Structure 1
Amino acid sequence: MMTVFIRSLILYGLVVVVMRMMGKRQIAQMQPFELVIAIMIADLAATPMENTGVPLINGVIPILTLLSVQVIVSFISIKSEAVREVICGKPSILINKGQLVQSELRRLRINMNDLLEQLRGKDYPNLSDVDYAILETNGEISIIPKVNKRNIIVEDMNIKVKDEELPITLIVDGNVLYSNLEKSGRDTQWLERELKKQSIQDVKKAFFAFLSSDGKFYAQKKELS
């Protein structure tokens, strides 16, 4: 029992030191290759910890080897742009000047619900408020709002504002969300009229449409694939 206790302490201390040497980033901020190494280190430490028949050195050496690999790869990626793109990838623009980049969304297999969830998580419930949305190499989405939508503290300006409702998605990839349309108090005739105002003659040709929190209708036409 004491042997297991001591081995566990040694391996725990080693893993903590190794993870600190790898950097201070959280799991969500790690690059893919860093996450793979972290998972492998945890697995390598668990084997000799739970099985006293495995020599302790059989866990220590692979862990130190992976640490060396991570340090070397990180150093090379700092020095070489080409290597960094191969290992970490490069950011992808999902919204460009207020317009959805449909080809990137398809390539990255990101659906509109996931994108809207990410925007809401960044305090931008209205797609129309976003100038650029960039998917970073660690999986996080960075938002650059339109100039007139940058955050201000209303209290400091001593003005009164009314509460806003949540935006309502009406069309996703040519499919009308009838339950949302009914919730908004509109009908299909109204939807078709609004689409025609934005030069979209057929609902099936609309990639995305929604009613913003201030009651304005926004739509974007499908790109020709």
Structure 2
Amino acid sequence: MLIGIVRTIILYLIIVLVLRVMGKRQIGQLQPFELVIILMISELAVIPSQDSGIPLIAGLFPVIMLLLLGLAISELALKSEKARGIICGTPTILINKGQIMEDQLRKLRYNLSDLLEQLRAKNMFNIADVDYAILETNGQLSVIPKSDKRPATPHDLKLQIAGDGMPLALIMDGEIQKKNLEKSGVDIIWLEKEIKKANISNIKQVFFASIDSQQKLYIQKKNAK
């Protein structure tokens, strides 16, 4: 029993490490070959965890081979445009200048209901407002609205807007994030003063606090128990 638990924990940690090495993309962003490799790895990892008669190294060997295969294919797709087209496929235009491409829908076995559902997910409820819709190789739909249906930007209005920069979390669940505090350009004394201005006596009472590029502090107090 104990041996099985230890083997399962070891296999779990190794599989997590393997997936980390393969990258940080979500399931919906995986290429078909990446998804197949992950499914095969998960199936192969179950075998040595269930059968203690299989040496752990022997059970991990096919997992490592699949990892190396995935890395090799990824490297090949990165270096060669032709190989990338064969391995990952190419994006397909489903709507071209407002016109639905029926032949492409049939070729991909992609029905109108699927197309309308994906458009709604992109906040495009009227197909007449769509200029281009492109089905990416990972199955996601990219949508370009018609020019008169796109939201106005500061550039369109000829406005000069200062960049917001990246907000930094200074306090999380009562703990000061020291690295972010150093990057923010403020010190602990300033932070404590601002906390007191918000009628909070102790940093431990702060659930979350962040600072933006304009030195504006956002503070949320912990809920009283």
**Do these two structures clear the TM 0.5 threshold for a shared fold by scoring above it?**
yes
What do the CA deviations read for 1:108-148 (whole angstroms, capped 9, x no partner)?
A: 11111111011001100100111000000001110011111
Tell me the residue number matched to 1:66: 66
Question: What is the SS of the residue equivalent to 2:137?
Answer: coil
Matched to 1:128, the amino acid is A
Tell me the residue number matched to 2:177: none
- The runs of 5 or more residues in structure 1 that have no matched partner are 154-225
CA distance in 1, matches of 2:52, 2:112: 50
Asked if 1:147 corresponds to 2:177, the answer is no
Tell me the residue number matched to 1:11: 11
CA distance in 2, matches of 1:55, 1:40: 19
Question: What is the SS of the residue equivalent to 1:52?
Answer: coil
More off after superposition, 59-68 vs 23-32: 59-68
Tell me the residue number matched to 1:75: 75
Asked if 1:36 corresponds to 2:36, the answer is yes
Matched to 1:11, the amino acid is L
- The runs of 5 or more residues in structure 2 that have no matched partner are 154-225
Tell me the residue number matched to 2:48: 48
Q: Return the offset for 1:92.
A: 0.3
- Number of residue pairs aligned between Structure 1 and Structure 2: 154
Question: What is the SS of the residue equivalent to 1:93?
Answer: strand
CA distance in 1, matches of 2:17, 2:152: 42
CA distance in 2, matches of 1:115, 1:28: 17
Tell me the residue number matched to 2:88: 88
CA distance in 2, matches of 1:57, 1:123: 50
CA distance in 2, matches of 1:73, 1:128: 40
CA distance in 1, matches of 2:59, 2:39: 14
What do the CA deviations read for 1:40-99 (whole angstroms, capped 9, x no partner)?
A: 100111110111112111221111111111111101111101110110000000000110
Question: What is the SS of the residue equivalent to 2:134?
Answer: strand
What do the CA deviations read for 1:137-181 (whole angstroms, capped 9, x no partner)?
A: 00111001111111359xxxxxxxxxxxxxxxxxxxxxxxxxxxx
TM-score, L = length of structure 2: 0.66
Question: What is the SS of the residue equivalent to 2:15?
Answer: helix
Asked if 1:109 corresponds to 2:113, the answer is no
Matched to 2:6, the amino acid is I
TM-score, L = length of structure 1: 0.66
Runs of 4+ deviating beyond 2 Å = none
Tell me the residue number matched to 1:133: 133
CA RMSD, Structure 1 to Structure 2 (Å): 1.4
CA distance in 2, matches of 1:68, 1:151: 45
CA distance in 2, matches of 1:16, 1:50: 18
